[in-house]
Amino acid sequence: MRPFRVPEQLLLPWSPQQTISVKHAAEMLDVGHMTITRMIEDGTLSAYKIRPDKSHSPWRVNYDSVLAHLDRVHRINGLEKRF
């Protein structure tokens, strides 16, 4: 008898449909991918690595955290919402 294995999607912090790539997040915020990586590392954006055991694994960024960051920036600077 095989042991029960939990599907990988159930182990992720968010559904894959609620995440975007670093490239897409960088385009939304009009910054480079290294800036997005720094924002993930300092906690400004929420994200997870697809393969946390690999150092070069790509990040998946929580879409709602990008929108929340945009709202904060626009509110602080008195700008209209972009999205």
In angstroms, the first-to-last Cα distance of the chain is 50
Specify the 3-state DSSP secondary structure of 6: coil
Does 7 have pLDDT greater than 60? Answer: no
Give residue limits of the domains in the chain.
Answer: 15-77
Does 68 have pLDDT greater than 90? Answer: yes
Q: What is the mean pLDDT of the chain?
A: 84
Phi, psi (rounded to 5 degrees) for 62: -70, 120
